[in-house]
A = this chain, B = another copy of it.
Amino acid sequence: MTSIKDVAKAAGVSTATVSRVLANNAPIKAETRERVLEAVAQLNYRPNLIARSLRAQKSAKIGLVVSDIRNPFFTAIGRAVEDAAYEQGYSVLMCNTDENPEKEELYLNLLHDENVAGVIFSPTQQFSAASHSYNAKMPFVIIDRAVESKETDMVLLDNVSAAYELTTHLLENGYRKLAGLFGDASTTGQERSRGFHKALKDYQLNPVAAHFISPRIKQGYDTTIALLEGTNRPDAIFTSNSLLTAGAFQALRDKKISVPNEVALVGFDETTWSELVDPPITVIAQPTEEIGRTATELLFQRIQEPSRSPKTVILKGTLLVKGSSKKK
């Protein structure tokens, strides 16, 4: 492998000069620079990033820690983060925690040991309490799920308002017997449940049901089946994430229930399928591209200026009204 020494020799300069040309962090005579660059091209030299990282005590990598990249929300975030990082010459280490605090800790340690410049991170609930201890170790941006610590940069959705708006939409369209399915793995589910209840309260109603369940298609399916078979069948189902929405939709279809006439269905996240199904699903679309990009930018800012005072960016969701929530 050709190293900086080879380049130095070929260009007739010291390794220091080569380094300075390449990192361009010092004045260099134009003629020398040219000679060095020539040698670099000639030898097809590529700096060893590991060595650079070791000596400079930093790297051009960031970590992305989410529960599961297969969740369309995180897929989109992941892509946006990767794009934003790429533009700055950074690459992204992808980590799936499966909502498992142990895996989460393992990955955070790993990222730390890998000397990543920073981490974009959607934490489990258990993590929240311990967040401050990690905070010191490396730059952090929390996405999607609030943590208690106020010392952390965050990019969040205004979940309460979004859920409130979505629920109100159901109520305005005449639905009265609402059931809510909320993911139990994150603070997101809790916040959305709060908006849900708040809207109902405005109408002086109680929910028919409100379940906190594991955010998986199967759980959404099972719970919906139970609701539909129960004595007090809801006329509208509110789901707090797209996996639950998918499960609920499947259950409604299998039970041959007409949506939205018998039962309405609403949820979060615009997915490929949410408008392909019949009827298309009314959802709160999250600005995933913007979340990912903002988080990455915030992270870069913190990397540059670690003592900068923390910023929380709260973005708004967009209500997309489709066929699943308006009686004909």
Query: Which chain B residues border A59 with CB–CB below 8 Å?
Result: 50
Alpha-carbon gap, A87 to B271, bound state (A): 31
Answer whether residue A303 sits at the interface, using C-beta atoms and an 8 A cutoff.
no
| B79 lies within 8 A of A49 (CB) | no
Which residue of chain B has its CB nearest to the CB of A83? B96
Answer whether residue A70 sits at the interface, using C-beta atoms and an 8 A cutoff.
yes
Answer whether residue A249 sits at the interface, using C-beta atoms and an 8 A cutoff.
yes
Query: Which chain B residues border A70 with CB–CB below 8 Å?
Result: 75-76, 79
Distance in Å: Cβ of A280 to nearest Cβ of chain B? 9
Answer whether residue A42 sits at the interface, using C-beta atoms and an 8 A cutoff.
no
Distance in Å: Cβ of A271 to nearest Cβ of chain B? 7
Could you say which of A105-113, A157-165, A222-230, A312-320 contacts chain B? A105-113
Answer whether residue A34 sits at the interface, using C-beta atoms and an 8 A cutoff.
no
| A113 lies within 8 A of B273 (CB) | no
Answer whether residue A285 sits at the interface, using C-beta atoms and an 8 A cutoff.
no
Which residue of chain B has its CB nearest to the CB of A46? B113
Answer whether residue A204 sits at the interface, using C-beta atoms and an 8 A cutoff.
no
Answer whether residue A246 sits at the interface, using C-beta atoms and an 8 A cutoff.
yes
Query: Which chain B residues border A83 with CB–CB below 8 Å?
Result: 96
Distance in Å: Cβ of A266 to nearest Cβ of chain B? 16
Alpha-carbon gap, A95 to B92, bound state (A): 8
Query: Which chain B residues border A107 with CB–CB below 8 Å?
Result: 91
Answer whether residue A82 sits at the interface, using C-beta atoms and an 8 A cutoff.
yes
Answer whether residue A93 sits at the interface, using C-beta atoms and an 8 A cutoff.
yes
**Which among B50, B93, B277 is the interface contact of A91 at CB below 8 angstroms?**
B93
Taking A50-B53, A217-B272 as known contacts, 11 extra A-B pairs with beta carbons closer than 8 A to each other, sorted by chain A number, are: A46-B109, A49-B114, A49-B115, A50-B59, A51-B54, A61-B114, A64-B94, A92-B93, A93-B94, A253-B278, A276-B277
Mark A residues whose CB is within 8 Å of B: 46-51, 53-54, 59, 61, 64, 68-70, 72, 75-76, 78-79, 82-83, 86, 91-96, 103, 107, 109-110, 112-115, 217, 246, 249-250, 253, 271-273, 276-278
What are some 26 contacts across the A-B interface (CB < 8 A)?
A49-B115, A50-B50, A50-B53, A50-B54, A51-B54, A69-B79, A70-B75, A78-B94, A79-B96, A82-B94, A82-B96, A83-B96, A91-B107, A91-B110, A94-B94, A217-B272, A246-B276, A253-B276, A271-B272, A271-B273, A272-B272, A272-B273, A273-B273, A273-B276, A277-B277, A277-B278
